[in-house]
With several copies, the nearest count.
Chain A
């Protein structure tokens, strides 16, 4: 995939995609759910429907930040044999208007160098039998470089790591900077004061504003925490996109109206994939139309903000 040539005003594709398509819609699905082939079709549908950014999940066996919906998607992807190598092959293969980001857990990033390293030529079934003394000499120091390098090579624009707080992010931050990739940080309802300042100063692309405490998953309404977080963040200049629980156009409208620059929708889309089972076209159509609804909602919220005369859209 190659980024669109029409985004010259920002050094970040990601920030550009948000600013230029304001209010932006960011969509997420898990790569490999139910197969990488299906994922290709689904990503194209998300793109057609009007996603301004697309996050693709690289599945990890211990998804501690996800709710049941995305856990299910990850399990299906792993059962389908999704590997980092296959994931990057998919990215290589994709052509979308919307820039792509990868969302994965830190250990997947750390081990990528390992599995790509020459010693990976040891067959997988030949596991360490090592007694203690050998074990240390066999140990690979896990590093983030190879993953970021491969991500850049595949044309990914950004990385989101739900289990990597700013305090532990230096190595990845450095590698991302080296390869010109954005590292998106999450801002939680509990993030305040000095830590908030530090995180906001490290953010690139956008700040992923977690709408509520807890895990990912579609919810029936927009939490008050969302409004509080957005007002706490209003002084920061970075684009702010809100995720965790957004499932409907009206949510999108409300969130944008509350001051966000974009909304992030994942579980509502994964639900559609799960409902359709394996094999594609109907699911792709449903995804596309859901994305249109969400984008319309976001735009409606945006209109309400810019056009003061507009009547208030209904709040729950």
Chain B
């Protein structure tokens, strides 16, 4: 249950039997394909989810950076982000385990919408916990969950964002654990979640690895992926980890500054891998944004989906062992990355993914001749945020949108 010193199962006793049950199910259904679980999962991801997603050569970025840039297009997955890989896998697993109800937390709403659509598809009752603040700033995603028949439970505690939603979902789970499965949305949480989620998400890298060899004739020199909790990162990297020639870059949200204000308990970033310290949060030992006393601080990023004070334990381990290079890109560079891909390639990326693109702009010289960048999701959900945040700044890559004045 650990990755070096990271991982583990730091949860209330009441949940331990459920984690054991889940570990058992993970081994039987996921690893051993019992009852054809993985066959059904792959078939549904193909027909319902739209896999495989393309690996696209980005012609204009390749020209701009003087090297071959390929984009792994998870934005084309049903729901608009890589999140469905995990959500569908876990909801299906819950079904195989005989669970009758699904709960999940969501921050920006991407995992919540993915879970809601997977639950609708598989006819599982579903409740999503979401912070009050997030509900109010991510209305379209709330609508989508409701349209898919999921309940959305507002969480008013604390700042009303992802961290509090996770806490509340754990509380629900501690109450209803016998018949309920908690679909954790990233490679975080207690064992076996980090492995389970990584397993479902590793299809990203597995496809990309095959595709890049077919299309470019060889393995890439580097793979770049954005990292919040790390499911897109681990999903993109996992199959490449044994390929020692492939450099792996996990790009976190640098926010507005890498400094933490421990007085107010706020980190204006979520660069956990770069700046975090070891501790226990949400069931696992991992790197965290915390005060010296051990209180978890509020992280911040222009991208709500990266806005989390923890990170997957496996990713912490891969960083400590030097296999993965942590990096971070601040809000401004991420916004420029958003505008650049939209304008040059006709792909509007999620703000999460825009961090990977911001890194590409700054450090392409270090990435070798053949680079794979994962576009973890599409940016339609981020349009309002991008407009607001762009307006506050003087960004080189931004178009004006003065079409509305009568």
Contact = CB atoms under 8 A, between A and B. Distances in A.
Bound together = yes
Interface of A: 60-68, 71, 75, 78, 83-84, 105-108, 110-112, 114-115, 120, 124-125, 127-132, 135-136, 138-142, 162-168, 185-192, 195, 199, 210, 213-215
The CB with the most chain A CB atoms within 10 A, among B10, B261, B273, B283, is that of B10
Given A111-B279, A191-B16, A215-B175, A135 B274 contact: yes
B274 A64 contact: no
B278 interface: yes
Nearest to A208: B13
In the A-B complex, list the 4 residue pairs whose CB atoms are closest, starting with the nearest.
Answer: A111-B294, A214-B175, A127-B260, A188-B14
Contacts of B291: 124
Given A115-B294, A168-B10, A213-B176, A106 B280 contact: yes
A62 B279 contact: no
Given A83-B293, A110-B294, A130-B275, A195 B158 contact: no
Interface string B8-20: 1111111111101
Contact of B263 (A60, A124, A188, A189): A124
Contact of A107 (B9, B11, B18, B290): B290
A65 B291 CA distance: 21
Given A110-B294, A190-B177, A215-B171, A163 B280 contact: yes
Contacts of A108: 293-294
Contacts, number: 171
29 contacts: A61-B296, A62-B282, A63-B167, A64-B170, A64-B174, A65-B171, A75-B157, A83-B293, A84-B293, A84-B294, A111-B279, A124-B291, A127-B275, A128-B275, A130-B275, A132-B273, A132-B326, A140-B278, A142-B277, A142-B279, A164-B10, A187-B13, A188-B13, A188-B16, A190-B17, A191-B17, A210-B14, A213-B14, A213-B177
B17 A192 contact: yes
Given A107-B294, A111-B294, A190 B18 contact: yes
A168 B9 contact: yes
B259 interface: yes
B241 interface: no
A187 B20 CA distance: 16
Given A111-B293, A188-B14, 19 more contacts: A62-B167, A64-B11, A110-B278, A110-B294, A114-B292, A124-B262, A125-B262, A127-B261, A129-B275, A130-B258, A135-B274, A140-B277, A163-B11, A163-B12, A164-B10, A167-B9, A185-B13, A195-B16, A195-B17
Interface in B1-29: 8-18, 20
A204 B14 CA distance: 19
B327 interface: yes
A187 B276 CA distance: 33
B12 A107 contact: no
Contacts of B274: 130-132, 135
A112 B175 CA distance: 30
B12 A61 contact: no
Contacts of B245: none
A107 B326 contact: no
B171 A132 contact: no
Interface in B271-326: 273-283, 288, 290-296, 319-320, 325-326
Nearest to B261: A125
